[in-house]
């Protein structure tokens, strides 16, 4: 990751609680029809590796997956996860989305989930993804659009959370409304053949609310989001505690729901 930007969430347990939930089914279903045994895939920003390992299972036999992430600590965790799962056609390493350590035309698929929103120059990253993709291969990206999130009931603390999150994310060099920008970024990166789709995460059941509300209640106080909010003056400690309490209130409200919209692109090289 460039010195121009910082990763908004960090890798606190409350963040990984969300990231380790992700699979191809709930986070990359738009790409699933393109997955086939024997293909070679690069997962940029692979995090704790749950999607990456899922890809590896789907590309066996004969296929392989490489996961890269900026954090050496999270790369080690992903490698441990793959070993524990007994998946051997996947490797993990540290890497820079702007300068991937691979030759031109190396991969059939380059994938990035919730990555471009955190980059100061997503177009440059997409050009780099294109460079390492074989002719006829695809670059696939999915990013959330915080500007389109729907929260019910709109508790004052959660309205405030949206404002603070937007300020923190932008101060770190990224774009929390990245979803709606994906198509334009891909066109600016030189892609001409695009498939554009959308999907949502919706958290409404008692179990889903307890999980989502609980992890954001913790993230609001303990993840990298909190000190950055304090540093830039987006919120004070009392304000963060009020946001955390609002998430817990939301989780305990039977009629509550939260919807996160995502845009997805599959760009042919």
Mean pLDDT of the chain: 94
Whole-angstrom distance, CA of residue 142 vs CA of residue 40: 19
- With tokens 């409304």, the residue in question is 177
131 in Cβ contact with 63 (< 8 Å): no
pLDDT digit string (tens) for 87-137?
Answer: 999 999 999 999 999 999 999 999 999 999 999 999 999 999 999 999 999
Q: Which among 77, 75, 81, 73 has a CA at the least distance from the CA of 54?
A: 81
Residue 17's H or E segment, with its range, is helix 13-19
pTM of the predicted model, to two decimals? Answer: 0.93
Q: What is the pLDDT along the chain (269 residues), one digit of tens a residue?
A: 444 677 766 666 755 666 677 899 999 999 999 999 999 999 999 999 999 999 999 999 999 999 999 999 999 999 999 999 999 999 999 999 999 999 999 999 999 999 999 999 999 999 999 999 999 999 999 999 999 999 999 999 999 999 999 999 999 999 999 999 999 999 999 999 999 999 999 999 999 999 999 999 999 999 889 999 999 999 999 999 999 999 999 999 999 999 999 999 999 99
Whole-angstrom distance, CA of residue 57 vs CA of residue 87: 7
- Count of Cβ atoms closer than 10 Å to residue 114 Cβ: 21
Tokens representing residue 92 in the block: 């993990």
Q: Which among 43, 37, 40, 189 has a CA at the least distance from the CA of 105?
A: 40
pLDDT digit string (tens) for 233-249?
Answer: 999 999 999 999 999 99
**Radius of gyration in angstroms for the set of CA atoms belonging to the chain, rounded to a whole number:** 18
Sign of the dihedral through C-alpha 230, 236, 239, 241: positive
């Amino acid at each position: 990751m460039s010195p121009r930007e910082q990763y908004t969430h960090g890798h606190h347990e409350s963040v990984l609680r969300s990231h380790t939930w992700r699979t191809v089914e709930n986070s990359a279903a738009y790409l699933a029809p393109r997955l086939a045994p024997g293909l070679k895939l690069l997962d940029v920003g692979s995090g704790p590796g749950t999607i990456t390992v899922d890809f590896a299972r789907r590309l066996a036999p004969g296929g392989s997956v490489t996961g890269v992430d900026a954090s050496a600590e999270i790369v080690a965790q992903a490698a441990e996860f793959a070993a524990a799962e007994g998946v051997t056609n996947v490797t993990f390493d540290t890497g820079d989305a702007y300068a991937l350590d691979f030759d031109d035309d190396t991969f059939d698929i380059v994938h990035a989930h919730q990555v471009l929103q955190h980059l100061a120059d997503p177009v440059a990253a997409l050009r780099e993804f294109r460079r390492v993709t074989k002719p006829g291969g695809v670059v696939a990206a999915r990013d959330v659009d915080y500007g389109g999130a729907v929260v019910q009931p709109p508790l004052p603390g959660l309205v405030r959370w949206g404002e603070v999150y937007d300020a923190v994310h932008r101060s770190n060099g990224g774009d929390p409304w990245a979803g709606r920008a994906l198509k334009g970024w891909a066109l600016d990166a030189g892609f001409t053949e695009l498939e554009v789709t959308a999907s949502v995460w919706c958290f409404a059941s008692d179990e889903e609310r307890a999980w989502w509300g609980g992890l954001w209640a913790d993230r609001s106080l303990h993840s990298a989001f909190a000190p950055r909010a304090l540093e830039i003056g987006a919120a004070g400690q009392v304000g963060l505690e009020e946001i955390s309490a609002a998430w817990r209130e939301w989780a305990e409200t039977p009629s509550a729901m939260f919807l996160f919209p995502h845009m997805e692109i599959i760009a042919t090289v």
